[in-house]
Amino acid sequence: MDYTNHNIIVWNIRGLNSAARGATLRSVVDDAAASVVCILESKLAVVDQRVVSSLLVLKFDAYMALPAQGPAGGIIVVWDSSVMTVPAFRIDQFSVTIEMAFRGGNQWTLTAVYGPTDDALKVHFLDELRTIRAACAGPWEVAGDFNLIVDAVDKNNNMLNRRMMGRFRRLLNDLELKESCLIGRRYTWSNERRQPTL
């Protein structure tokens, strides 16, 4: 089976609390002809069909959401049900997982993640990923913002938690996860300050 013919957008939007961000999201999604969109860090405490319809073009008629807890987090996964069905799903503390069955016969599991920024919760997050993988049969894709790094070159300063880097590296190895090629700039986000934290 060919698993490369379905566009999936994964975007840490850092808050959907402005009309401009919603318009930008709609434009990017429309241009990419995506069948699945994973919106990370939505910062929305309530997600319903009205919210999804206001953010995206009408073809995205199905969704699963993990609401934000307080001022951060939140994951929304939307899809076009004319292209695929979701026979199974799960919503955990840091992730939304959907089993995708495309009309052409391709089937695999997608987990959208927004990892915790609090170091005390990161071990729980890694355990959550192990539990999800154990429940998946067949191909599994994990996409999102892990809020973790594997190597010091992935950070632009020396504030490193080497123990957590090692745990994350072990998880990737144990679950046989491979990093997708990143096209574009080295760091995928910035806090837009003069001395950015990346």
Question: Is pLDDT of 196 > 70?
Answer: no
CATH of the domain at 57: 3.60.10.10
In the chain, how many domains are there? Answer: 1
Question: Is pLDDT of 2 > 50?
Answer: no
Task: Report pLDDT for 144.
Answer: 95
Q: Please report whether residue 180 resides in a domain.
A: no
Q: Please report whether residue 13 resides in a domain.
A: yes
pLDDT digits (tens, 9 = 90+) for 138-175: 999 999 999 998 887 777 777 788 899 899 999 999 99
Task: Report pLDDT for 30.
Answer: 85
Structural domain boundaries, residue 66: 8-174
Task: Report pLDDT for 147.
Answer: 92
DSSP 8-state code for residue 15: -
Q: Please report whether residue 20 resides in a domain.
A: yes
Q: Please report whether residue 193 resides in a domain.
A: no
At residue 186 the predicted structure's pLDDT band, cuts being 50, 70 and 90, is low
Torsion of CA 5, 7, 10, 13, to 10 degrees: 170
Task: Report pLDDT for 183.
Answer: 59
Contact 61, 85 (CB under 8 A): no
pLDDT digits (tens, 9 = 90+) for 89-135: 999 999 999 999 998 888 999 999 999 999 899 999 999 999 999 99
Helix (H) or strand (E) holding 62: strand 62-66
Mean pLDDT of 173-180: 90
Question: Is pLDDT of 34 > 90?
Answer: no
Q: Please report whether residue 196 resides in a domain.
A: no
Task: Tell me which of 86 and 187 has the higher pLDDT.
Answer: 86
Query: Number of H helices and number of E strands within the chain?
Result: 4, 8
The residue with tokens 């429940």 is 135
Q: Please report whether residue 192 resides in a domain.
A: no
Mean pLDDT of 177-185: 71
> Do strands 84-91 and 107-114 pair parallel, antiparallel, or not at all (unpaired)?
unpaired
Mean pLDDT of 46-66: 89
Segments of 19-156 assigned E as strands: 36-40, 62-66, 75-79, 84-91, 95-102, 107-114, 140-145
Task: Report pLDDT for 57.
Answer: 74
Contacts of 23 (CB under 8 A, 6+ apart): none
Task: Report pLDDT for 141.
Answer: 95
Q: Please report whether residue 2 resides in a domain.
A: no
Question: Is pLDDT of 197 > 60?
Answer: no
Q: Please report whether residue 29 resides in a domain.
A: yes
